[in-house]
Amino acid sequence: MFLREHEKPLSKELINVDISGRPYQIEAIRSVFEGIDHAKRKFLLVMATGTGKTRTCVSMIDVLMRTNRIQRVLFLVDRIALGNQALDAFREYLPNAPLWPQRNETKFVTNRRVYVTTYQTMSNIIDDEGYGISPHFFDLIVADESHRSIYNVYKNIFDYFDALQIGLTATPKDALERNTFKLFQCEDGLPTFAYSYEEALKNNPPYLCDFEVLKIRTWFLEKGIRKDTISIEDQKRLLKAGKEPAEINYEGTEIEKSVTNLGTNTLIVREFMEECIKDESGVLPGKTIFFAMTIAHAHRLREVFDDLFPEYKGEIAKVIVSEDPKVYGKGGLLDQFVNKNFPRIAISVDMLDTGLDVRELVNLVFAKPVFSYTKFWQMIGRGTRLLEPKKIKPWCKTKDKFLIIDCWGNFDYFMVETGGETEKQSIPLPVRLFLTRLQKLTLAVSLKKDSIIEDCVTKLIEEIASLPQNNVVILDARTKLEQIDENYWSDLTKEKTEFLQKEIAPLMRTRSGEDYEAMYFELKVLFYSIAKIDEKQEKKLRENLLSRSAKVIIEMVSDLPLNVNVVAKQKDLINSVLTGGYLQKAGEPELNNLVEKLGPLMKLRDPVKQSQVSLDLQDVTHEKGYIKFGPEHERITVQKYRDRVQTLIKNLENKNVVLRKIKMGESITDEELNQLAATLQENDPYPTEENLQKAYEARKVKFLDLIKYIMGVSGLVTFPQKVTTAFDGFIAEHNNLTTKQIQFIQTLQSFIIENGELSKKDLVSEPFTKFHNNGFLGLFDHKLQQEILQLTDRILNYA
């Protein structure tokens, strides 16, 4: 592949490339061609899902073939469906190149130019002596979606063939065990070419489609399934069926793992049918993927669709999973979903999470939790493609956005803002850990917390000592590392901190063979620790960070399998984290103990549990992210409603006398406030106190305080934040409470947030009698009873 005398550089051949007017694809090809001109053999192209990785690659292959640089190409995929998709692309954009396999062709032949197959098939062909395929047979190997399938056993394909290698991926997974960058001889974080989702959205016109997110949490998903969350009617039905309601006790996270509930699946389907983006008729949903947990879960969802909408005679939704032979081939279920009017909804388990190209997709439903950030963005990528003007299909004539319905809090789990958040540059996990610990050290120095400073310094020194001394990157950085002696840490100046951030932290990417699951857990605990000690942080933001970090830690701990001996030894600590308020009461020693004891167990996490219980209980919507407003009862997302309100007030603040007075900090009379409310309600989006409270999660916050917050005149403490802060403070002050008393107080906190009120009668009724038959009266002495009543009175009567 080196240049011969009569050949001109490949980069000069770009004039021959036809890429349909997308300059970034030309740049991707240019990056590869320039590398080939300089005798480089391996390349990694990182292009956001939907930006045309395959199309770019086909054009590149076209030029390489026409300039006689290559004769035969191997295009590798990890699933048959993606192979068929790639073959279609080659037929369309490279119609004269002989392809293997042709339709219904299974035997390997040697007289073609483009070969498309799965990793497993090619690995078998190499191992089969009957084929006797030469290591020089292919001139170019392309690994599609290379972040998933080219590791471990399939790496032998790349070792066997002496050929140029190109990896195509949307989200390289460099932070954990499978190092895509290393495989393609690129520095971490520096692929041959990259084009992000954000860049594609910002182009004018955009190359990809933006999305909106509707978060839906049902009552049972949020509160769990137990006696106090089951309606009286359902309790009576359970008793008639011989089931004792008091024995039913499942967390929301166990639904579709340890327990299945028909009512929850029914509610999710109903909400979807009400809220989804529909076709031109406004009746039928547009093309949709439901991401289900298991095949059994997928079939249960299909049955709900069939039961609720019998008029479609079982055609509206189909289960599409790789195990079903009816999925594949011309006329198969997948072909019907892509190319026919029906089915409209594909319910899938893993198979459609990544790689599938259906431009008409307008709805994605996360009916399962996702724990991989890479996979999360790949799933979102199913909907990002825009329509092709020349290939409009009657069931989807327009598409300017797509809708994601998140039933499991995945966007909260990954701390992604809804409404089209962009993918973040991938930073290796050891680098993130080092930088986060350095952030904690800097904070501790500013707060003069000596014990934390000592602990952070010790661990940072250990991380530096763990660098592989014989690694070429570390050898080159020896002079920098020698500056970090024992006296370096005694006076941590701004310059020293920047040196650690810019020069030392990037070296952490060389750490290999680590327990990355433990490292990831430690990182999450670090986030929680920083939020906990940073008392100077703005109160609302600090509480939000603490809450989100705690949820992530608890989720990870809850997935530890107690039936494994080494995990069972930590049962008391695990239970304390899950139900004993461990994180709320934990200081630095307790958080370090958590990392030390549970970190090494994280590789044993098993988020899917067996032995499922089946229930049929009515579920209700607990949380829904839309606002209905105005005379036409228009409905938009909470974020868009907020944006409209802020725009309205900004437009009026210099014209309206009352808004000007608020801006200047002057007092407002009740009459003036009523005038302002009337004025605002005459203008889109017609803000009312009730809708503003809902939009800003600010129950009981007064209209004037909400307006002040929107104008930036004052801060806002929401009702849930106020309640949470008050109860956290109460638990911290009473550090001798028993586990059951803490559970009672946490349940009381949730009860007040949900209901906004409390009576003494409530305290001796469900759900509080599950802790003691006499509820509040049986669990606390008289002094504590009075303190709790005073606490709730302060919260509810002075909100």
Number of Cβ atoms within 10 Å of the Cβ of 705: 17
pLDDT bucket at 329, cuts 50 / 70 / 90: confident
More confident residue, 16 or 466: 466
- Residue at 373: amino acid letter: Y
Please give the pLDDT value at position 227: 64
Number of Cβ atoms within 10 Å of the Cβ of 233: 10
Say how far apart CA 475 and CA 41 lie, in whole Å.
25
Q: Residue 678 CA to chain centroid, in angstroms?
A: 41
pLDDT in tens, 690-705: 888 877 767 677 888 8
The answer to whether 731 and 584 have CB atoms below 8 angstroms apart is yes
Integer CA distances (angstroms), 162 to 89, 257, 557, in order? 26, 46, 46
Say how far apart CA 790 and CA 792 lie, in whole Å.
6
Please give the pLDDT value at position 559: 83
pLDDT in tens, 120-171: 899 889 888 777 889 999 999 999 876 544 655 677 888 899 999 998 887 6
CA atoms within 13 A on the CB side of 468: 11
* 101-105, 255-259, 607-611: range with highest mean pLDDT: 101-105
* 33-47, 268-282, 702-716: range with highest mean pLDDT: 33-47
Residue 572, token pair as written in the block = 């008391």
Residue that the structure tokens 């009400």 belong to: 274
Say how far apart CA 329 and CA 238 lie, in whole Å.
46
pLDDT bucket at 556, cuts 50 / 70 / 90: confident
Residues 688, 689, 693, 695, Cα dihedral to 10°: 10
The answer to whether 142 and 74 have CB atoms below 8 angstroms apart is yes
pLDDT in tens, 338-362: 999 999 999 999 888 776 778 999 9
pLDDT bucket at 261, cuts 50 / 70 / 90: low
Integer CA distances (angstroms), 371 to 376, 556, 693, in order? 8, 10, 32
- Spell out the SS3 assignment of 726-755: HHHHHHHHCCCCCHHHHHHHHHHHHHHHHH
pLDDT bucket at 423, cuts 50 / 70 / 90: very low
Residues 765, 768, 769, 772, Cα dihedral to 10°: -140
Residue that the structure tokens 């600590």 belong to: 573
Residues 542, 548, 549, 555, Cα dihedral to 10°: 160
Q: Among the listed ranges 132-146, 403-417, 543-557, 621-635, which one has the minimum average pLDDT value?
A: 621-635
Q: In the 8-state DSSP scheme, what is residue 208? A: B
pLDDT in tens, 736-778: 778 778 878 888 888 887 777 888 888 888 788 877 888 888 8
Please give the pLDDT value at position 405: 92
- 735 CB-near residues (< 8 Å, 6+ apart): 585
Say how far apart CA 112 and CA 137 lie, in whole Å.
11
Residue 16, token pair as written in the block = 């021959």
* Residue 179 in this model has a pLDDT that exceeds 70: no
DSSP assignment of 166-194, as one string? EEEESS---SSS--HHHHTT--TT--SEE
Q: What is the mean pLDDT of residues 231-244?
A: 69
* Residue 10 in this model has a pLDDT that exceeds 50: yes
Q: Which residues pair with 261 in a beta bridge?
A: 615
pTM of the model: 0.54
Q: Containing H/E element for 123?
A: helix 119-127
Q: Among the listed ranges 94-103, 372-381, 605-614, which one has the minimum average pLDDT value?
A: 605-614
Please give the pLDDT value at position 222: 60
Say how far apart CA 174 and CA 374 lie, in whole Å.
10
The answer to whether 746 and 736 have CB atoms below 8 angstroms apart is no
Instruction: Say if strands 140-143 and 361-366 run parallel, antiparallel, or are unpaired.
Output: unpaired
More confident residue, 772 or 499: 499
Say how far apart CA 45 and CA 144 lie, in whole Å.
10
| Listed residue (742, 734, 724, 636) closest to 686, CA to CA | 636
Residue 654, token pair as written in the block = 């210099």
User: Taken in order 287, 288, 294, 297, is the CA torsion positive or negative?
Assistant: negative
Count of residues making up the chain: 799
Say how far apart CA 339 and CA 354 lie, in whole Å.
18
Please give the pLDDT value at position 485: 87
Please give the pLDDT value at position 600: 92
Say how far apart CA 288 and CA 277 lie, in whole Å.
9
pLDDT bucket at 724, cuts 50 / 70 / 90: confident
Residue 201, token pair as written in the block = 């959205």
Q: Among the listed ranges 60-69, 223-232, 525-534, which one has the minimum average pLDDT value?
A: 223-232
User: Taken in order 706, 710, 714, 715, is the CA torsion positive or negative?
Assistant: positive
pLDDT in tens, 71-97: 999 999 988 878 888 898 899 888 889
- Residue at 210: amino acid letter: D
At residue 773, the 3 state secondary structure works out as: coil
Residue 463, token pair as written in the block = 């991380």
Residue that the structure tokens 């026919």 belong to: 340
Say how far apart CA 737 and CA 734 lie, in whole Å.
6
Please give the pLDDT value at position 422: 34
* Residue 194 in this model has a pLDDT that exceeds 80: yes
Instruction: Say if strands 621-624 and 613-615 run parallel, antiparallel, or are unpaired.
Output: unpaired
**pLDDT > 70: percent of the chain:** 82
User: Taken in order 409, 410, 411, 415, is the CA torsion positive or negative?
Assistant: positive
Average pLDDT of the chain is 81
Q: In the 8-state DSSP scheme, what is residue 255? A: B
Please give the pLDDT value at position 618: 55
| Listed residue (46, 360, 32) closest to 164, CA to CA | 32
- 452 CB-near residues (< 8 Å, 6+ apart): 440, 441, 444, 533, 588
Q: What is the mean pLDDT of residues 191-213?
A: 88
Q: What is the mean pLDDT of residues 403-414?
A: 83
pLDDT bucket at 623, cuts 50 / 70 / 90: low
More confident residue, 17 or 328: 328
| Listed residue (393, 402, 291) closest to 350, CA to CA | 291
pLDDT bucket at 548, cuts 50 / 70 / 90: confident
Q: Which residues pair with 624 in a beta bridge?
A: 216
More confident residue, 529 or 179: 529
User: Taken in order 631, 633, 638, 640, is the CA torsion positive or negative?
Assistant: negative
Please give the pLDDT value at position 687: 87
Q: Exposed (0-12), middle (13-18) or buried (19+): which is 77, by Cβ within 10 Å?
A: buried
Say how far apart CA 202 and CA 195 lie, in whole Å.
12
Say how far apart CA 797 and CA 453 lie, in whole Å.
42
pLDDT bucket at 221, cuts 50 / 70 / 90: low
